[in-house]
Structure 1
Amino acid sequence: MSEPILDHIDSVDEELEVESNYKPPPEKTIEQILEADKEDESLKKYKETLLGEAKAGGVIVDPNDPRKVIVKKLALCVTDRPDMELDLTGDLTQLKKQTFVIKEGVSYKIRIDFVVQREIVHGLKYLQKTYRLGVPEVTVDKMTHMVGSYPPKTEIQSYTTSAEDAPSGVMARGSYTVNSLFTDDDRNEHLKWEWSFDIKKDWRE
């Protein structure tokens, strides 16, 4: 029997935190950022431009959602092919019914679309752990991506990972499950979800 997704994600988070020497900077509010170095006029203008509408007292995209980060979509991006997308705003338990097909050996990237509201979010991270389905399940890959710090905006913001190569060969073909977590320096869990893909010899299979 597969382990619960929460156990998978917790272990991903713990393992990657142990391996990283990254130390998050102290969290600052919009007001603190604007106050720092305010005697430097050019820097002040730069920060005001960077923060945009956030400095006007907060951006609230969805007043019914208390989260600072609302994760909207995950996309698998392959050059010269339409993006394969997962809607992350609905019932996450239904995602396992939507399986991506990836041609073996192809180079792909993962894009995460999200909205930041209310306050600046510091040190966003995307964690991922991939399992090969079978008896028993086998962990084949785990990764962490430092997404960065973002101000609140009404527009959707995106992060795209560096390119990864899908495994190839007869032994690599099969079904895989991925446990994903979007978190930050303070270990706030903005979203965790499970999705799946199949590695096949060709796109048409």
Structure 2
Amino acid sequence: MSHSQDASVADDELKPSTTEGYKVGEKKTLDEYTQLDANDESLARWKASLGIGASGGADPSKPKLTLHSLALISDTAPGGRVGINLEQSKDKLEALKKNPITIKEGVEYSVSISFSVGSDVLSGLKYLHVVKRAGVTVDKLEEMIGSYGPRNEPYEKKFVQEEAPSGMLARSGTNVVRSRVVDDDGAVYADWTWAFKVR
């Protein structure tokens, strides 16, 4: 198969952008965050927003990050929402490339992910994806997820709206998407491939 037909997305295409002069803050454990100056009101509010100090949060037996689902959400498309269960077995996740979901051409939609944070505070999380059709990159998305602390209930993060491709070319093939969740150190927490078709 020639390179132009290769639909896979290489690792170096999923590198998050960096901001010149931005220094990644020192990572702290959940215990270290809990011990931070309790008299600082703004710091207390920030810690509360991450669930630090709340009961029912951290569980050392849980993974740092668990992805539950990815959804394409639209106010104008029939059904309004089409989703992928990311808690399936590895084989079933691999099969997502061969079983594309279908979205309506030309409608506005947002990518949304549902995830849980289990054992520690995760800071500077980003969601990235690269979309290829017939081996050619047709779209890239990089969105800040933010910083989250452990809690029992899942979080849901919805990203900026995009317009689904339209026209004969858009309908002519399968769009292969490689998605990744990373932190501001570049550590990869999730990496999976899926596909969609435009109708």
* Bin for the TM-score computed over the shorter chain: 0.7 to 0.9
Maintained 8 Å contact 2:69/2:113: yes
Distance 1:37 1:53, change over 3 A: closer
Aligned to 1:116: 117
Distance 1:82 1:54, change over 3 A: farther
Structure 2 gap segments, 5+ residues each: none
Letter aligned with residue 107 of structure 2: V
Aligned to 2:64: 68
Structure 1 gap segments, 5+ residues each: 201-205
Letter aligned with residue 155 of structure 1: E
Aligned length: 189
Maintained 8 Å contact 2:57/2:150: yes
What CA distance in whole angstroms lies between the structure 2 residues aligned with 1:115 and 1:26?
23
The structural deviation recorded for 1:45 is: 4.8
Maintained 8 Å contact 1:84/1:100: yes
What CA distance in whole angstroms lies between the structure 1 residues aligned with 2:43 and 2:163?
43
Q: Provide TM-score, normalisation by structure 2.
A: 0.82
Maintained 8 Å contact 2:67/2:114: yes
Letter aligned with residue 167 of structure 1: P
Distance 1:3 1:20, change over 3 A: farther
Deviation string, structure 1 residues 53-93 (Cα, Å, up to 9, x no partner): 655596228x3x5x300111100111153421111112221
**SS at 2:165 equivalent:** coil
What CA distance in whole angstroms lies between the structure 1 residues aligned with 2:162 and 2:32?
38
What CA distance in whole angstroms lies between the structure 2 residues aligned with 1:176 and 1:57?
40
> How do residues 1-205 of structure 1 correspond to structure 2 at under 5 angstroms?
1=1, 5=8, 8-14=9-15, 16-17=16-17, 20-21=19-20, 23-40=23-40, 42-43=41-42, 45-47=44-46, 49-52=48-51, 59-60=58-59, 63=61, 65=62, 67-80=63-76, 81-90=79-88, 91=90, 92-133=93-134, 137-174=135-172, 175-200=174-199
The structural deviation recorded for 1:20 is: 4.6
**SS at 1:12 equivalent:** helix
The structural deviation recorded for 1:99 is: 1.5
What is the RMSD of the two structures over their aligned residues, measured on CA atoms?
2.6
Letter aligned with residue 82 of structure 2: M
Aligned to 1:203: none
Maintained 8 Å contact 2:50/2:147: no
Q: Provide TM-score, normalisation by structure 1.
A: 0.79
The structural deviation recorded for 1:177 is: 0.6
Q: Comparing both structures, which one devotes a greater share of its residues to helix? A: 1
Letter aligned with residue 32 of structure 1: E
Letter aligned with residue 52 of structure 1: G
Distance 1:93 1:35, change over 3 A: same
Distance 1:179 1:164, change over 3 A: same
